[in-house]
Amino acid sequence: MRIIRYNYPFILGVLLFALLQGCSITSMRVNSLASQLESDPPEQVLSKLEKIAFPERDRVQFLLNYGILKSLSGDFEASIKDLQTAKKVIQQVEAISISENIGAVTVNDTLKSYVATPGEQMLIHQILVTNYLLTGQLNEARVEVLQAQVKAKKFAETSEMIGRLASMEYLAGLVYELLNEVDSAMISYRNAARFMKKREMDIPSVLQNSLLRCSYSLGLKNEYKKYVKLYGKKAERVDTKKGELTVIFWDGIVSAKKQNFITVYVPKLEHNVTLALPYYSDQTKPINPLTFTTGDKVYNTVPIENVEKIVREDLEAQQKVIYSTALARMITKHLAIKMSQGKNTEGLSILLNIASVLTEAADVRSWNMLPSSIQVARVRLAPGRYQLFPSKVKGKIAAEKNNLWDKLFSITRLKDKAEEPSLSTSIVKGKKLDEFMLDIKAGQKVLLFIPGVTNRVYSHYM
Amino acid sequence: MNYLIKVLTVGVVSLLLTACNMTKVTRMGADESIDLSGAWNDTDSQLVAREMITDALSRPWLTNFSAHRSKTPAVIVGSVRNLSHEHINVRTFVAELERELVNSGRVEFVASSNDRNEIRDERKDQDLHASEDTRNAAGQERGADFMLQGQINTIIDINDNKQVRYYQVDLTLVSMADNRKVWLGQKKIKKLVENSKFRY
């Protein structure tokens, strides 16, 4: 009888331990893959990520990473599919799960379904906008802009700044301008400037120009004068003989969450007290601009979003819930150990003490393949052919990755294109920076998407 | 001890339950109405198309045209822009509009510009390969008298776990001869969507 009494909790403990080790190993593997993005091609990282089995509660995290990796690889249609699915799943798991919360209070926070943070949810819309623009689906990009606005309204119920992204507003302004909805663009640019000011970021020249241009074109005289005084320049004259180049540059990879793990033996309680909490390193990644040239002039992209700051803000906003759950968990584990400290249960008590330490784990899941900063540039160029990134300019960002995988990938993509010409619009083969040539015509608008970690340029001529 | 076992059991059971995922498929009629997310769905598409075309065909432009020109008007569906908050498949909505128009028997319907190109290619092919008695000559196409254009707009109001979704579909029938707007149709749909705050 005594053996049975000992075996039952022992089996449960072993089962829990095995399951939870699986959770933390998955998180570690995903974090490791995210850091590999700095050196390996996104296709390689994606194929590794796809091989990792994950529990249903981590589905959102995996879909988000699949989506962003497909964007980095130029498979924008597949990225759209994954990110749209992620949005649907988020909607389902946003409701508070009773069973998952019991799991979080008794075992650890990783038993909760992963719901993207407000900042991440806005970045889903933002990446979708970019994907739609790059595939020429302007109206669908507008839908994402509207959805982001609804989401922002929802987040505003709890906090003014949580989930409010200047980069999203800037892209919204861009979409509205492309659709000749200058009044809506003006509102978005104003919001972008407001959010940047709140986050103590300098208003970049690209946003200053947008505010000047839109306020001037809408005849908002007082507002225009205010901007002229503030930025010390006037709105640029729209020259129809020139084309317009917009560059969206993703710099680096955002920091991953880490775990603070403390376990202390408390003599008064006669067992260990263990606490594991997630945190981001105080040191944020530096912002590196992308430099490009048109021969006579040199331009730099400017940061419109510091994603490093956004992820830290989101974690800060979650702290209350994380701390209260951790406290409740400590009490539950303490009560469980106390109950086992009766007669003839010394072995069980030790086992539970060990289990309470081993099962404690911080939830370090995040959308860890995001860029560390989002940067833009918008310049007017005379019609012609430009090599924007000659070799010496290219050196400004991550070193080129000219490995075997890249070569193999190029061959595969070319083969795909030859066999299925209909796919050519969905899978865009990126050009290496120094091989990319821009051909711009008068009045033409060109969008370049440059994920720094890939060293590739994806272009769309509008 | 009992308490301890209960706590452990709850922990393990919740672990196992959170991992449960079952797929169930039930076949149903295509015209059955089911609202899952509150978003624009097939039922909205069918209802709006049917009601708006019925309205369009009951207005005086149709009888006026037939009386003056002594023929049934030919209509073409132009673009229907999605300006809503949702990724609506406008093609299925346009297909519904086309179906309702053709099946009414009161107007003639001409193929859209995309469809026409395919037909023209086939006609060119017939010129080369089909026998003379089965060949269809070029230059005999029926030109449209009216073009149907439109847009889908939404206003979404959100508070906590409640959402009011207001859809407004505007269709306009424009005379190809003189750009007159001969019919303006509008259909509104309002939905209250309540998302549960809790799940198991």
pLDDT (tens digit, 9 = 90+) per residue, A100-134? Answer: 888 888 888 888 999 999 999 999 999 999 999 99
In the prediction, which pLDDT does A360 show? Answer: 87
Residue B75: inside a domain: yes
Residue B6: inside a domain: no
Q: Tell me the pairing of strands A456-461 and A258-266.
A: unpaired
pLDDT (tens digit, 9 = 90+) per residue, B142-184? Answer: 899 999 999 999 999 988 888 899 999 999 999 999 999 999 9
pLDDT at A165 over 90: yes
Q: How many domains does chain B have?
A: 1
In the prediction, which pLDDT does A454 show? Answer: 92
Which CATH number belongs to the domain containing residue B100 in this structure? 3.40.50.10610
| Mutation site, A150, A337, A341, A345, interface B, largest B CB count within 10 A | A150
CB contacts, 8 Å: B1 with chain A:
5, 339-340, 342, 345
ipTM surpasses 0.85: no
Among all residues of chain B, which has the CA nearest to that of A144? B85
pLDDT at A428 over 70: no
For Cα atoms A367, A372, A373, give the angle at the middle one, nearest 5 degrees: 125
In the prediction, which pLDDT does A29 show? Answer: 87
Average predicted confidence (pLDDT) for chain A: 86
Residue B164: inside a domain: yes
Largest CA distance in chain A: 91
SS3 A428: coil
Query: What integer is the mean pLDDT of A37-55?
Result: 93
DSSP state of A283: S
Residue B80: inside a domain: yes
Query: From the list B17, B87, B196, which residue is nearest A143 (CB)?
Result: B87
Q: Mean pLDDT highest for which of A18-27, A121-130, A347-356?
A: A121-130
Residue B32: CB partners within 8 Å, gap ≥ 6? none
Q: Which residues of B touch A (CB under 8 A)?
A: 1, 3-5, 7-15, 17-19, 21, 37, 81-87, 154, 156, 158-160, 195-200
Pair of tokens at residue B5: 């076992």
Residue B161 distance to chain A (closest CA, Å): 9
CB contacts, 8 Å: B21 with chain A:
56
Lowest mean pLDDT among A39-53, A85-99, A195-209, B25-39: B25-39
CB contacts, 8 Å: B86 with chain A:
143, 147
The pLDDT-based confidence of A336 (bands split at 50, 70, 90) is: confident
Per the model's pLDDT, the better-predicted residue between B136 and A422 turns out to be B136
The pLDDT-based confidence of A207 (bands split at 50, 70, 90) is: very high
pTM: 0.84
Cβ contact, residue pair B19, A111, below 8 Å? no
CATH assignment, A2-201+239-461: 1.25.40.10
Of all residues in chain A, the percent with pLDDT exceeding 90 is 62
For Cα atoms B13, B19, B22, give the angle at the middle one, nearest 5 degrees: 115
> Alpha-carbon distance B113 to B143, whole Å?
11
pLDDT at A403 over 70: no
> Alpha-carbon distance A107 to B16, whole Å?
13
- How many CA atoms does the CB half-sphere of A113 hold within 13 Å? 23
Q: Which domain holds residue B78?
A: 38-113+143-195
Residue B104: inside a domain: yes
In the prediction, which pLDDT does A135 show? Answer: 95
Secondary structure (H, E, C), B98-145: HHHHHHHCCCEECCCHHHHHHHHHHHHHHHHHCCCCCCCCCCCCCCCC
pLDDT at A417 over 50: no
Cβ contact, residue pair B14, A111, below 8 Å? yes
In the prediction, which pLDDT does A441 show? Answer: 94
In the prediction, which pLDDT does A404 show? Answer: 41
Residue A151 distance to chain B (closest CA, Å): 9
Cβ contact, residue pair B83, A154, below 8 Å? no
- How many CA atoms does the CB half-sphere of B142 hold within 13 Å? 14
